[in-house]
Structure 1
Amino acid sequence: MTETHWRADPLTWGQGPRVFEVFLEPTCPFSVKTFNKLDALLEQAGPDRITIKIRLQSQPWHMFSGVITRCILAASTLPGGKASAKAVMQAVGDHRMEFEFAHHAGGPNLDATPHDIIARIEAYTGLQLRDAFAIRDLDREIKWHSKYARQNGIHVSPTFMVDGLIQPGMSSGDEVSAWVAVLLG
């Protein structure tokens, strides 16, 4: 039996001394709002001044959260690495209701299977995720994200952390300039 070697690319952008960690659930509307501001944040603050780290915060009331989280981490193992993972997050965010249940419990996704969800993501991104999704021990990455969140007292998304300290005053509704002020103020 041949052993395959893989590596999940860290979901990190920038290389500055201030570390901004965002804990996101891919189908949460507030997490999507946060995700959509991260590029502007990096541009405004400067990649040499901040480091952005996305931490995945799977939540059971978002019914396909586990499947989508695994798809994101699977994408990070592909040749595009974190860019592929980011493409999955963007596709899910842009088409959120195709990956979510109505009122967290109903709607057309009741008939969807994990294979359907993977196929939708593949169609939107052009990525081939099935083999990466099936990586036998990919769950170690998923567990790392969950454990890291628990160790830091994170229970909901989005949650914001600067240099290891939770920032309860930060919100997905804030302007990017407000985030910059907190980070570099």
Structure 2
Amino acid sequence: MALAPAYAVGHKLLSGGPHTLEIFLDYTCPFSAKIWRALQSQVLPWLKTQPVTVIFRHQVQPWHPNSTLLHEAALAVEKINPSAFELYSTALFENQNQFFDEITVNQSRTTIYKQLAVLATSVNAVNDSVAVLQMLDIQPVATAEQARNVGNAVTSDLKYHIKLARAQGIHVSPTVVFDGIRDDSVSSSWGLEQWQAWLSPKLTQSQQ
């Protein structure tokens, strides 16, 4: 499936075409973190020489309440510095346990946003955490009558990605889609050999 131009720099992990490999991930999912590490350390370096474009897709899972906040933060970072999206994604996966339910249950949404903004500066994804917070900011109001529930500066972006995942019938993370077809056989436990065994026949079809 195509990638909207607004996300082409950050979400496109490799631009090798003509095949497309989409990886649907949740920043608060341990299995997503596991497959991300394999992709970064083994699979993407191999795929650099293959005829395939690799796209990061958001899969926000509501049973992980902080998932929305982490994905919002990633989208905010991309708006500020598109080339740092992948770097910040790695930071989110490597620090995901800081945002698990048990450690954040007594923290406010704003407090978590601040932690995410600090994380962005700590890995040099952005120069100023305030810029990230401005993207995530929701101004409080005094009464329910004043509330409009309009979200923040990345709400429309998050809606786009959620609608895209729903349109493709994605239910859990990680989920892998190759050339528009979901394949639930792909496992977060795979190493390079399993990825090569699964992908190589698909990639060579276009060369025959």
Scaled to the shorter chain, the TM-score interval is: 0.7 to 0.9
- Residue equivalent to 2:99: 99
Instruction: Measure, in 2, the Cα distance between the counterparts of 1:184 and 1:15.
Output: 17
Q: Please identify which structure carries the higher helix content.
A: 2
The Cα offsets for residues 10-69 of structure 1, whole Å up to 9 and x where unpaired, read as: 401222222110110101000011111222312112255221111111111111111111
Instruction: Measure, in 2, the Cα distance between the counterparts of 1:94 and 1:42.
Output: 18
- Residue equivalent to 2:62: 60
Asked if 1:38 is matched to 2:39, the reply is yes
Report if aligned partners of 1:76, 1:85 keep a CA contact under 8 Å in 2: yes
Residue 123 of structure 1 and its aligned partner are, at CA, apart by: 2.5
- The residue matched to 1:37 in structure 2 has which SS? helix
Instruction: Measure, in 2, the Cα distance between the counterparts of 1:27 and 1:47.
Output: 30
- The residue matched to 1:26 in structure 2 has which SS? coil
Instruction: Measure, in 1, the Cα distance between the counterparts of 2:76 and 2:10.
Output: 12
Q: Give 1:70-109 correspondences, 5 Å limit.
A: 70-78=72-80, 80-81=81-82, 83-101=83-101, 107-109=102-104
Instruction: Measure, in 2, the Cα distance between the counterparts of 1:15 and 1:48.
Output: 10
Residue 182 of structure 1 and its aligned partner are, at CA, apart by: 2.1
Asked if 1:20 is matched to 2:5, the reply is no
- Residue equivalent to 2:135: 132
Residue 118 of structure 1 and its aligned partner are, at CA, apart by: 2.1
Letter in 2 for 1:34: I
Q: 2:118 aligns with which of 120, 123, 130?
A: 123
Call closer, same or farther: CA 1:184–1:64 in 2, change over 3 Å: same
Question: Larger deviation: 85-94 or 17-26?
Answer: 85-94
- Residue equivalent to 1:142: 158
Q: Which has the larger radius of gyration?
A: 2
Call closer, same or farther: CA 1:108–1:15 in 2, change over 3 Å: closer
- The residue matched to 1:36 in structure 2 has which SS? helix
Instruction: Measure, in 1, the Cα distance between the counterparts of 2:32 and 2:77.
Output: 19
Asked if 1:155 is matched to 2:174, the reply is no
Residue 133 of structure 1 and its aligned partner are, at CA, apart by: 2.4
- Normalising by structure 2, we get a TM-score of 0.75
- Residue equivalent to 2:183: 167
Report if aligned partners of 1:13, 1:52 keep a CA contact under 8 Å in 2: yes
Instruction: Measure, in 1, the Cα distance between the counterparts of 2:57 and 2:72.
Output: 13
| RMSD between aligned residues | 1.9
Residue 137 of structure 1 and its aligned partner are, at CA, apart by: 4.6
Letter in 2 for 1:130: L
Instruction: Measure, in 2, the Cα distance between the counterparts of 1:130 and 1:181.
Output: 43
Q: How many residues align?
A: 172
Question: Larger deviation: 52-61 or 32-41?
Answer: 32-41
Instruction: Measure, in 1, the Cα distance between the counterparts of 2:119 and 2:86.
Output: 12
Residue ranges of structure 1 left out of the alignment (5+ in a row): 1-6, 102-106
